[in-house]
Amino acid sequence: MTFTAVSAPTAHLDGLDAVQVGHLRHIRNLLTQLPGDWSHMGGRGPAQDDFGGLRYQLAYMTYALAVAHRNRLPAAPGVFKPLFEHAIEKLLSSDVWAYWRDTSRGGAPWNAHLSDGYEETWNPVLRDNIMYSAYVQSIALTYHYLFQDDRYAQPGALTFTQYTPFWGGEGHSFAYDENSLNDHIYWLMAQSGYLGVACEPNCIFQMCNQPPILGFRMKDLIEGTSVAEQVTRDYEAAWQRFGRLDPDGHFYSFVLVDADIPIPNGDGAAGGDAGVGALMSMWNRDVVAERYRDQLATYLVEGPDDTLSVKFAGLSSLFPPGVTPIPIDNADFGWTTAWAAEMGDAETLERLFRHVDRYMNPTIRDGGRYYPRNDTATDGDGNRTEVSPLEGNALYSWARLTVPSGLWTLYNVPLEPEHFRNPAIIGVGSDVDVSLAYVAPETRDLHIEVTRRDDVRGDGTVDLARIDVRSWSVIEAGVELASSSTPQSDAATFEVVDGTLRVTLHDHRSHRWIVREGVSR
């Protein structure tokens, strides 16, 4: 296998194909479900305790949105901004974090000896639990950065509330905002000597300490600071006493804090390397790339017709001797796919998806494309068919919607100030798919492709902003379709509403337009 890590961002302004649009639509479908409706998101692990819990699905769906907006549809904030808001609202639901009351007490195999010293806490971000708190922090700050909206910086904007009339007394409420939560996580990391923040008592996982670094970087981009640079430098120094890799060349999984002992990826699960690699590459890409091929080779399984699969691995290290492991989700196939996508390994990615699309039941629901949960390990021929909701809802979507070095680009290549002044789609009807949205820098023309679906309810509208609504034109296939003087066409009606240009699509064809200030002649 040949592989070259992508070393610089490239233009990905050809938009989304039908499969990618389907993944984006599925994310939208899940994030706009009513509060408390977690349809199609239930996994095998009990009580949100495993690696496929709601927090992970919500986080990696939202990271998929971030890289898709940053790299593929940069002029369509109106597609992504409302979905971020839905994701944050859902992340704050106690359905997602109430597990922490019990997990915070310890009692697992790696902290049972310490459990008498831990008191339960309802506050899901007070200590440890970086496997949840960092998602809220990083996503809120990414929202602020991408959309120049500081709503989550307002006092109490990120408040964790639990109340039920039948237990829990008067309930619990813990008020934070993006700044106070970010500062709190920073100091938790500093108190550890920058080794990281624990996921649960006594366990600092490498993978779970990458998302807060993304949050620190987003805040740096907002404020012009350099906290992420300092944190990653000190993180590297803290891990030097262990080395990044275990004796077999894989990323250490976690550190037992009280014993100061690193725990290797003993079960050989691909997700251990793939999850760390996909995330850490945003700030430490050379190191990840150096080990990528050797690590990847230990997990891949050749399949029929040039497909690639990922070998099964146990999770026995999570359970003490004599205890039968219960079924839980680990999503190692999905993580490997996201890893290959971020590393720009097009050949591996294509062959993995060839297997996924053949054996994992790609399904269309309400216009969205996903892979439904399947607990059956293999088909009759031994081909892997198991799918966790984390994979089917989030990781495969992320791998499809990102670009080579997509997360690296979000982290390392700041958006220019004019990006936020350029014409853009700032709103879309629920029945409209956007597959192209970028601004040509030399002309300031807005290039879009929009389609009104006939299988989803909505008003068929697309709102365009930051253009001169007094003089504009819309060009299709080199011909002026409409203008400020002739705002009607067979395809759509154009009208000025509250300083924006509102387009109402009349038909269900795909329309590829150039929106230009001034009337084209």
pLDDT at position 33: 98
CA distance 292 to 280: 12
Using the predicted structure, report yes or no on whether residue 109 has a pLDDT greater than 70. Answer: no
In the DSSP assignment, the letter for residue 282 is H
Least confident of 156-160, 242-246, 247-251, 311-315: 311-315
User: DSSP string spanning 243-299?
Assistant: -SB-TTSSB--EEETTTTEEE--TT--HHHHHHHHHHHHHHHHHHHHHHHHHHHHTT
CA distance 137 to 183: 10
Percent of the chain at pLDDT exceeding 70: 91
pLDDT at position 521: 46
Contact between 512 and 448 under an 8 Å Cβ cutoff? The reply is: yes
pLDDT at position 76: 98
CA distance 133 to 196: 13
Mean pLDDT over all residues of the chain? 91
Instruction: Write the pLDDT tens digit of every residue in 34-50.
Output: 999 999 999 988 888 78
Mean pLDDT over 263-273 rounds to 80
Dihedral pair phi/psi, residue 482, rounded to 5° = -160, 165
pLDDT at position 7: 42
Using the predicted structure, report yes or no on whether residue 344 has a pLDDT greater than 60. Answer: yes
**Can you give the pTM of this predicted structure?**
0.95
CA distance 91 to 97: 8
pLDDT at position 201: 85
Mean pLDDT over 177-196 rounds to 97
Q: How confident is the model at residue 314 (pLDDT cuts 50, 70, 90)?
A: low
Q: How confident is the model at residue 289 (pLDDT cuts 50, 70, 90)?
A: very high
CA distance 112 to 319: 12
* Residues linked to residue 488 through DSSP beta bridges, in sequence order: 493
Using the predicted structure, report yes or no on whether residue 499 has a pLDDT greater than 70. Answer: yes
CA distance 404 to 311: 24
Of 230, 213, 244, 209, the closest CA to residue 142 belongs to 213
Mean pLDDT over 136-142 rounds to 98
Contact between 513 and 481 under an 8 Å Cβ cutoff? The reply is: yes
Using the predicted structure, report yes or no on whether residue 484 has a pLDDT greater than 80. Answer: yes
Instruction: Write the pLDDT tens digit of every residue in 379-424.
Output: 999 999 999 999 999 999 999 999 999 999 999 999 999 999 999 9
Q: How confident is the model at residue 266 (pLDDT cuts 50, 70, 90)?
A: low
Radius of gyration of the chain (CA): 23
pLDDT at position 313: 76
Structure tokens at 443: 């002309």
